[in-house]
Structure 1
Amino acid sequence: MSAYLVACRFALLAMAKNRLAAVLLIVFIPVWITVAKTLTTPETFPFRLRATGTWLRAGGDEITMISGSLNAVSLLVGFLMFSAARRTRAFDRRLTAAGYPRTALLGAKLTTLAVASLLVSSYATAWMLLFWTPLQPFLLGLAVLAVCLVYGAMGMCLALFLRGEVEGLVTIIMTSIIDLAPQNPVASTTADKALVELLPSYGSLQTSLAAGFTRNATVSPLLHSAAWLTALTATALAAFALRTRSHPPLRADDRRRVARRGARPRRRGEG
């Protein structure tokens, strides 16, 4: 337990020292939500909520604000977790090689993901509530939290396979655009297609729209988010465990062979 607490403390401190992420959190999210709300047409649009099959009507500014908020938090949490996992990658290997329990490090990473997602989703939801009063504020916050968890796990996963922060940031940006753009009922005619159910933010966007414009507690779409979160988290943790696995101890005959090899005097010409 003490190893887990120590790992959590250092992981959270490392995340808090990410100044770029802090600036993006404080500035980018409010600016994005303000622009989406004030510069988009408030004209009412009819759209079909695919999760329930019901037709709804809502202002274009409110729909765009929801989609833009999910886009902003997914980028921020994805980049934050990617950066944190990438910076501690080599240090984690040294710790596990020295005998530090991998379970403590894995638990610390999951705790960091949960804390970062809760912080960012609460902040973004609070800013949306300044401009708009959804019918189900709590459900809206839950939907935003879900997309934060999914993209945070995606960032952890990408950090194990991509070398630099530029590659990770570009990958997260492009994934978020490809993910959310086809689902916006205002900007896209493909929002009602069956393929959108395969996208990472489908559950969050459908739940957010239901929370904003209906009084029905539509939480079934979040099962899609749970599936994405489980798959990405399992991949990230499995890759971490494989890359930090400890080597098995040498057998007695291997130890004797290594000892003889180490005690053998060097011959002339050997390095």
Structure 2
Amino acid sequence: MSAPDALHAHQLRAASGQFTTALRFSIRDQTRNRLAALLLVAFVPLWYLLMAAMAGHRPLDFRLFATGQVMHIDGGHLTLISAGLNSLTMICGFAVFDAVRKSLAFDRRLVHAGYRQPVLIGAKSLAVAAVAFAVAVYTALALLPFWRPSVTGWLAVLAAFTVIALTYGALGLLLGVLVRGDLEGFFLIIMGSLMDTFLQNPLGNPLANKPVLHWFPSFGPMQFATAGAFAHTALWGYLALGLAWAAGFAATGLIIFRRRTHRRTATPRRPVTAKPGTDPSPA
């Protein structure tokens, strides 16, 4: 093996080792939040139970914007979908925001110690995606004791849950590197998730069938889950719309993360030149 090939192989092994270590730290940071774990295990079933009891089984009209079709569906089942979306926005947003805020100084030290920023960015992105998918699977499984949609309907709900978990995980990443305090981040996540998911349900919002909801992150996942669960239609464009929100939040957050962990090199000090007729030595 030639010297350039050996050097390239060594660099690949070093980058692989850095990626594995960074990924392990990122997943550990995001999964050791006890409040988020408690919300996931206990809050999700209780939230489903409360929403199902409040909504009952009153029929509702829900509009599919892709086809213009107005469906007459069970309001309780629709409320369970919006409840799952709402719980995911808060849990994933909180978990990622808290982890990023606490690990930012450590990530900066890793960069100064020689870790490559692309490696850290890739590991952090994969950790957010893995945690979001795991939380979405649990939330979709917790739905089954309250409502048993068809297999394709449940898979549509799972896909929508995964996308909204990715979206608010990416938002948590963005807020974690952007805002200066915990209070601001928690407030933005709570208010954003409540407004976003609540407005999608016609049971509590008479504007839920209006075009203005196109501008909310949960619009695409809600349309996809509802179409798959009730109309057995796959609205892939609306799922892609949700992924676009996730990609936008993640890209913005990772750009800011790169800037905040950038390794700054010391600039050489300019030599002091003495003026003619003066003594340059210190007094």
TM-score (norm 2): 0.86
Distance 1:187 1:50 in 2: 19
Task: Look up the match of 2:226.
Answer: 209
1:79 to 76, 79, 94: 94
Q: Is the 8 A contact 2:48 2:143 kept in 1?
A: yes
Residue 40 of structure 2 corresponds to 25
- Render the CA deviation track for 1:95-117: whole Å, top value 9, x for unaligned: 11222111121111111111111
Which one of the candidate residues 203, 207, 222 is aligned to 1:186? 203
Structure 1 runs of 4+ off > 4 angstroms? 255-258
After TM superposition, give the deviation of residue 46 of structure 1 in Å. Answer: 2.2
In structure 1, distance between residues paired with 2:66 and 2:219: 9
CA distance in 1, matches of 2:127, 2:94: 13
Map 1:15-164; keep pairs closer than 5 Å: 15-135=30-150, 136-164=153-181
The alpha-carbon distance between structure 1 residues 47 and 15, as it changes in their structure 2 partners (threshold 3 A), is closer
Does the CA-based 8 Å contact 1:71-1:180 persist in structure 2? Answer: yes
Give the equivalent residue in structure 1 for 2:17. 2
Partner Cα distance (1:168, 1:226) in 2:
22
Q: Deviations over 1:10-54 (max 9, x none)?
A: 111222221111111111111101111233221212222223211
Q: Equivalents in 2 of 1:13, 1:227: separation in Å?
A: 27
Q: Deviations over 1:168-202 (max 9, x none)?
A: 11110101122122211211121122221110111
Could you say which residue in structure 1 is the equivalent of 2:216? Answer: 199
What is the letter of the counterpart of residue 82 of structure 2?
S
State the match for 1:263 in structure 2.
Answer: none
CA distance in 2: counterparts of 1:33 and 1:257, whole angstroms:
69
Q: Which moved more, 1:74-83 or 1:89-98?
A: 89-98
In structure 2, distance between residues paired with 1:16 and 1:46: 39
Secondary structure of the 1:220 match is helix
Contact preservation (8 Å) 1:48, 1:192: yes
Q: How many pairs are equivalent?
A: 259
**Unmatched tracts of structure 2, length 5 or more:** 1-15, 273-280
Normalising by structure 1, we get a TM-score of 0.90
The Cα of 1:255 is off from its aligned counterpart by 6.8
Deviations 1:51-109 (A, max 9, x none): 32112111111111111110011110011000010000111111112221111211111
Q: d(CA) in 2 for partners of 1:5 and 1:29?
A: 31
Verify the 8 A CA contact 1:134 1:211 in the aligned structure 2: no
AA aligned opposite 1:113: V
Q: Which residue of 214, 224, 228 corresponds with 2:241?
A: 224
RMSD over aligned Cα atoms: 1.9
Contact kept? 2:81, 2:157, Cα under 8 Å: no
Q: How far has the Cα of 1:248 moved from its partner?
A: 4.3
Identify which range, 125-134 or 233-242, moves more after superposition: 125-134
